[in-house]
Chains A and B, each alone.
Chain A
Amino acid sequence: MTALEAVSRVALEILPADAVITDHARLRTYECDGLAYYKVTPGLAVMPETAEQLATIIRACAEHGLPFVARGSGTGLSGGALPRADGVLIVTSRMRAVREVRREDQRAVVEPGVINLDVSRAAAPYGYHYAPDPSSQQVCSIGGNVAENSGGAHCLKYGFTTNHVLGAEMVTPQGEIVQLGTMAPDAPGYDLLGAVVGSEGTLGMVTAVTVRLVRDPEQIRTVLAGFASTDEAGAATSAIIAAGIVPAAIEMMDALSIEAAEAAVRCNYPEGAGAVLVVELDGAAVEVEHEYHEVERLCRDNAAFELRVATDPEDRALIWKGRKSAFAAMGRISPDYIVQDGVIPRTALPEVLRGIAELSQTSGVRVANVFHAGDGNLHPLVLFDDGVEGAGEAAEKVSGQILDLCIGHGGSITGEHGVGIDKAAYMPKMFNDADLDTMQLIRCAFDPAGVSNPGKIYPTPRLCGEVPGRHKEPHPLQQQGLAEVF
């Protein structure tokens, strides 16, 4: 009996037959996550319903030395949930209970398969929501959010998943169930939860998550400002930050991404704009009102030629529509594209954008820029036609050079999409051997056998040389209109 057969037998003892997938055709459903460039059919897929079942399966994996990979909704953009042909894919889609919503404690306890937006939906009757809002929030799971330390447009003001997770029940790579953190803040001992959030499934799997709920703001205002170029839009962003205003979000799109969005969703952004800013303000009504006038003034001072403001949800949705559709819209102007995710210090924005323009000019590869301007998180979209010989390679080169540009300006190779399998080869450009070795100490403490999502985040010789992921087609979830890549 092979190790896979042995684990599958254990799974069948505790799970219904339809929760243990061994059929190759069905297994292929899980061959990739949101980064469809990488595909591996898992050796086995299981769908446990309880922490105990999940722990039993992981214990069996540990016993047989089989690698396991956690998968939530499969919306990740760095191949973090790429399965192993020699391993087990543990899917959390049957762990979808919102266990508790406690208004008085401003907490919810949810299972890992719960959809991000469903946490906010459960809290809505109490006037609360879950703040981290990745754009895939209609489909992405909390377990995946914990693995990736997901952000979202509003993390500028509200922070990331790591700032909103207070506790987690976790199954270690040895199959032990441990509780890290609680309802209350500051659990005594090392902040293991702080290490687990964002560890991309390499330190174990969470089976229940205690999250902070945030009071809904009294008022939200969304401003759309059109500028002649990204320079003016960038200057307006700096002016807003310098004025001491912390908007909920500041998003920027350049001419090419506006063109694509117009073609895709007719968002009706200001005509002739070389750049638009979407600035969202939220909070107490009187404050938002005042900040709105400030933002309006600062945008006009920095040569905004058109300003629109939305206060009701429909108008807001209209403004956000262009921004949220920007990635998928690339299909309208290019057959293929690479979504990049780099971070720079915000003040380096003009310089880095010029650098990207130069790269584009010298290589002849078009790059559209969409980004979270408030925190310097760039999403350059590198456009190419895979039908043209060498075009894919040229695009990959430019995409990599953009990351080099980010690193050169003291930034990061990923702000929210994660390292996964896609960027493991870039880690040594940002961290030296000692840094990476030190991070490995954490891995060794949690998973000495290296069975929990091995091969992700950290480069190993056999993984070196991989190329950044290409988006050859929209993700199936995008095609169905269930998710937007943001």
Chain B
Amino acid sequence: MNTTAQTGSRQARPAEVDEAARRAVASACPASDAGELDAVDGVQAALVASPTTADQVAELMRACAAHDLAVVVRGHGTKLTWGRPPERADVIADLSGMDQVLDHAAGDLVAATQAGTRLADLQKVLAEQGQRLSVDETVPGASIGGTLATATSGPTRLAVGTPRDLLIGITVVRADGVVAKAGGRVVKNVAGYDLGKLMVGSFGTLAVVVDAHFRLHPLPAERRHLGVPIESADHAYQVAQAVLHAQVVPAAVEVDWPSRGAGTLTVQLAGIPEGVAGRTATALELLGDAVTEDPTPPEWWGSYPWMDTTVDAIGARATALKLTFALSGLPAVLAAARDTPGAPVTLRGSAGVGVVYGAIAPDCPVEAVREAVGRLRDTCTAHGGSLVVLDAASEVKQEVDTWGPVSGLDLMRRVKHEFDPGRRLAPGRFVGGI
């Protein structure tokens, strides 16, 4: 197993873009000087380029290649600080103008959209025909491209998987400006390598996604939420296992586990009213007397725990964690989160999948955060999973191994080298300094 190199100590290079490069970018697409807000995790960009077509993105990438400019892709900027700060960010490729839903073939249960389209806007269009892309909007305002780049997911993943499982076709622009597509617009297709899967979760380090095709699902006619107060880590595990092994076909099994006191485990049942009613009856028998039943989800549903109190008065960031583990690791992970002196951890997420998210408040001492991350990571690793620090304040990112151990890192570096030999796409943002 390879271990991620610490890249936090690398000095961010100030963006210097000469006049020729500026002209090349401006001739590719609308571009302007970067302002103070156009920084990527503290790394100031020089230019903001705003292409509106795939051709313009291609032209932009060719211009950046010719002038050795590093490019960070931005959708609506909701997760731009995730990952490590890039080594350089000469140009921000702002794709927020590429916001068209290209196609919704309701009869085929597929849709195509440009990458800059907000997930919520796509859902509005799909809902008109009683359909949805089964990806939760865990970060308000997120674009399709950003959702793919960071592979965000929420409660719905238990039933239908994550963006990787729903993506059926993709168009990308490579670092050298070549436009390429893979997959297609049919749900069943094994022609050629599945390039799309490689792009999902790649943090914009392999290519620029310009449009994507997805398979869709019908909107459930009815949803029911059964909440159980959770007294202990073991209790959470018992309830989660009981639901998973029963015949209730849950749409989601989520846990909310504050840093102290009781937690909640909520089961979502979805589908046709008759089915939901029947399965609710079965589930109620399993869940005991303290269960609550509600058509609407609890307030915390589908949101990351760091969003509760992310930013304090001086703009510090909470430490945002993603923890994964085999299902039997749930009690150990929940218990470990209650044993992090000086850095209380709130956990929330898909107990029925083995993916939960953690938040450590911004005002905790860096050393305590580092120890908490280490302890939780050890627990996740012992249960076949991993811990990634998605985001944190700069001083935390400098002290903590954010990506943690990564298996197959050598192959990943080779993939990166093939796609972006000049390391111009978000260099340093991803695992192992990729």
Q: Which residues of A contact B (CB under 8 A)?
A: 102-107, 127, 148-149, 151, 155, 159-160, 162-163, 172, 176, 178-180, 182-192, 194-195, 197-199, 215, 217-218, 238, 241-242, 244, 246, 283-287, 290-291, 343-347, 372, 375-377, 410-419, 423, 427, 430-431, 434-439, 441-446, 457-458
- How many B residues touch the partner, as a band? 35 or more
Contacts of A436 in B (CB 8 A): 192
Query: Contacts of B384 on A, CB cut-off 8 Å?
Result: 105, 182-184
Contact check, A182 vs B385: say whether CB atoms are below 8 A apart.
yes
> Which candidate, B119-127, B179-187, B305-313, is the interface stretch facing chain A?
B179-187
B174 CB within 8 Å of chain A: yes
Q: Is the CB of A290 within 8 A of B201?
A: no
Q: Are B411 and A445 within 8 A (Cβ)?
A: yes
The answer to whether A162 and B417 touch across the interface, beta carbons within 8 angstroms, is no
Contacting residues, chain A, for B180 (C-beta < 8 A): 434-435, 437-438
The minimal Cβ–Cβ distance linking B334 to chain A, given in whole angstroms, is 15
Q: Determine chain B's interface SS by DSSP, over half rule.
A: mixed
Q: Which chain B residue shows the least CB distance to A431?
A: B192
Q: CB within 8 A of B201: which of A190, A218, A375, A446?
A: A190
Which partner residue on chain B sits nearest A159 by CB separation? B165
**Most A CB atoms within 10 A — which of B164, B184, B322?**
B184
For the complex, give the distance between the alpha carbons of A187 and B411 in Å: 14
Partner of A346, one of B107, B329, B414: B107
- Is B408 a contact partner of A180 (Cβ separation < 8 A)? yes
Contact present for B188 and A151 (CB under 8 Å): yes
The 0/1 profile, CB within 8 Å of A marked 1, for residues 142-167 of chain B is: 00000000010100000001101100
Q: Are A162 and B324 in contact, with the CB atoms below 8 A?
A: no
Of the candidates B186, B244, B354, B406, the one whose C-beta lies within 8 Å of that of A344 is B186
Q: Give A421 Cβ to nearest chain B Cβ, in Å.
A: 14
Apart from A189-B408, A436-B192, A444-B418, what 7 extra A-B contacts exist at CB < 8 Å? A149-B194, A160-B188, A163-B161, A189-B407, A287-B279, A375-B186, A376-B188
Q: Quick check: is B327 within 8 A (CB to CB) of the other chain?
A: yes
Q: Residue of A at shortest CB range from B160? A: A159
Q: Determine the distance from Cα of A415 to Cα of B168 in the docked complex, in whole angstroms.
A: 12
Query: CA A46 – CA B390 in complex, angstroms?
Result: 45
Asked if residues A442 and B105 are in contact (CB atoms below 8 Å), the reply is no
- B412 close to A442 (CB less than 8 A): no
In Å, the complex CA distance between A246 and B275 comes to: 13
A464 to chain B minimum Cβ distance, whole angstroms, is 17
Write out the residue numbers on chain A whose beta carbons fall within 8 Å of the beta carbon of B247. 215, 217-218, 284-285
A176 to chain B, nearest CB (A): 8
Tell me whether B198 and A241 are in contact (CB under 8 A).
no
Residue of B178, B217, B279 touching A284 (CB-CB under 8 A): B279
B108 touches A346 (CB 8 A): yes
Would you call B197 an interface residue if the criterion is a C-beta within 8 Å of the partner chain's C-beta atoms? yes
CB contact under 8 A between A435 and B406, given known A184-B386, A186-B355: no
Contact of B189 among A189, A412, A441 (CB under 8 A): A412
The answer on a CB contact under 8 Å between A291 and B272 is: yes
Minimum distance in angstroms from B24 CB to a CB of chain A: 22
Q: Report, nearest first, the 4 A-B pairs whose CB atoms are least far apart.
A: A194-B197, A286-B278, A287-B275, A183-B384
**Docked complex: B82-135 residues within 8 A CB-CB of A:** 105-110, 130
Q: Are A242 and B186 neighbours in the complex by a CB distance under 8 Å?
A: no
Whether A418 touches B184, Cβ cut-off 8 Å, given contacts A194-B164, A238-B107, is no
Contact with A along B402-434 (1 / 0, CB 8 A): 011011111110111111000000000011100
**B328 CB–A CB distance under 8 Å:** yes
Confirm or deny: B325 has a beta carbon within 8 angstroms of a beta carbon on chain A: yes
**Contact assessment for A149 and B190 in the assembled complex, using a CB-CB cutoff below 8 Å:** yes
Taking a contact as CB atoms under 8 Å apart, the answer to whether A194 and B407 are in contact is no
Q: How far is the CA of A236 from the CA of B226 in the complex (A)?
A: 36
User: Smallest CB-CB separation from B187: which chain A residue?
Assistant: A375
What A residues does B328 contact at CB under 8 A? 102, 104-105
Contact A414–B108 (Cβ < 8 Å): no
Chain B, 238-282, CB within 8 A of any chain A CB: 241, 244-245, 247-249, 271-272, 274-275, 277-279, 282
Chain B, residue nearest A170 (CB):
B408
Interface centre among A107, A192, A441, A443 (most CB of B within 10 A): A441
Interface residues of B in 61-92 (CB under 8 A from A): none
Query: Is B275 a contact of A430 with CB atoms below 8 Å?
Result: no
Q: Is the CB of B407 within 8 A of A180?
A: yes
Contact A159 B161 (CB under 8 A): yes
Across the two chains, which residue of chain B brings its CB closest to A203?
B193
Q: Which residues of B contact A194 (CB under 8 A)?
A: 164, 194, 197-198, 200
Given A183-B385, A194-B200, verify A244-B431 contact (CB < 8 Å). Answer: no
CB distance from A457 to the nearest CB of B (A): 7
Known: A189-B406, A346-B107. A283 touches B275 (CB 8 A): yes
**CB atoms of A186 and B151 under 8 A apart:** yes
Contact B189 A414 (CB under 8 A): yes
Residues of B contacting A344 in the complex (Cβ-Cβ under 8 angstroms): 186
Instruction: Name the B residues within 8 Å of A191 (CB-CB).
Output: 164, 197-198, 200-202
CB distance from A201 to the nearest CB of B (A): 12
Kindly state the separation between the CA atoms of A290 and B191 in the bound complex, as whole angstroms.
37
CB B80 to nearest CB in A, in angstroms, measures 19
Contact A215:B107 (CB < 8 A) given known A285-B278, A413-B191, A427-B192: no
Flag if B355 contacts A244 (CB, 8 Å): no
Q: Which residues of A contact B164 (CB under 8 A)?
A: 191, 194
Is there a chain A Cβ closer than 8 Å to B326's Cβ? Answer: yes
Q: Which residue in A176, A184, A430 is a CB contact (below 8 Å) of B385?
A: A184
Complex Cα gap A189–B406 (Å): 7
Give which listed residue, A190, A410, A427, contacts B415 with CB less than 8 A. A190
Is A375 in contact with B383, judged by CB distance below 8 angstroms? no
Task: Return 29 A-B CB contacts under 8 Å, by A number.
Answer: A155-B188, A162-B165, A162-B194, A183-B383, A184-B329, A185-B353, A186-B153, A190-B206, A190-B412, A195-B195, A195-B197, A215-B245, A218-B247, A284-B249, A284-B279, A286-B275, A343-B186, A347-B105, A347-B107, A375-B188, A377-B188, A410-B186, A412-B186, A414-B190, A430-B191, A435-B192, A442-B198, A443-B193, A457-B193
In chain B between 14 and 55, which residues have their CB closer than 8 angstroms to a CB of chain A? none
A191-B197, A215-B244, A435-B181 known; A290 vs B275 contact (CB < 8 Å): yes
Which residue of chain A lies nearest to B281 when distances are taken between CB atoms in the complex?
A286
Report whether B182 and A435 are in contact in the complex, using a CB–CB cutoff of 8 Å: yes
- Which of chain A's residues have a CB closer than 8 A to the CB of B416? 190
Whether A188 and B355, one on each chain, are in contact in the complex, defined by CB atoms closer than 8 angstroms, is: no
In the complex, chain B residues whose CB is within 8 Å of the CB of A414: 189-191
Contact with A along B202-238 (1 / 0, CB 8 A): 1000100000000001110100000000000000000
A286 contacts B107, C-beta separation under 8 Å: no
Is B388 interfacial (CB-CB < 8 Å)?
yes
- Quote the shortest CB–CB distance from A430 to chain B (angstroms): 6
Chain A residue numbers with a CB within 8 Å of B325 are 184
User: Do residues A198 and B245 form an inter-chain contact, with CB atoms below 8 A?
Assistant: no
Given known A184-B326, A188-B386, A286-B275, contact A376–B186 (CB-CB < 8 A) = yes
Are the CB atoms of B186 and A244 closer together than 8 Å? no
Min CB gap B26→A, angstroms: 25
Flag if B185 contacts A410 (CB, 8 Å): yes
Contact across chains for A188 and B326 when beta carbons are under 8 A apart: no
* Pair B278/A431 contact, Cβ less than 8 Å: no
Residue of A whose beta carbon sits closest to that of B327:
A105
CB of B272 within 8 A of CB of A198, answer no
What are the residues of chain B within 8 A of A346 when measuring CB–CB?
A: 107-108
Contacting pair B326 A107 (CB below 8 A): yes
Q: Is the CB of A287 within 8 A of B200?
A: no
**A417 CA to B91 CA, complexed, in Å:** 44
| A345 contacts B110, C-beta separation under 8 Å | yes
State how many angstroms separate the Cβ of A323 from the closest Cβ of chain B. 17
Q: Contact at B408–A106, with CB atoms within 8 Å?
A: no
Which residue on chain A has the smallest CB distance to residue B411?
A192
Q: Which one of A178, A419, A435 contacts B407 once the chains associate, using CB atoms below 8 Å?
A: A178
Residue of B nearest to A180 (CB): B408
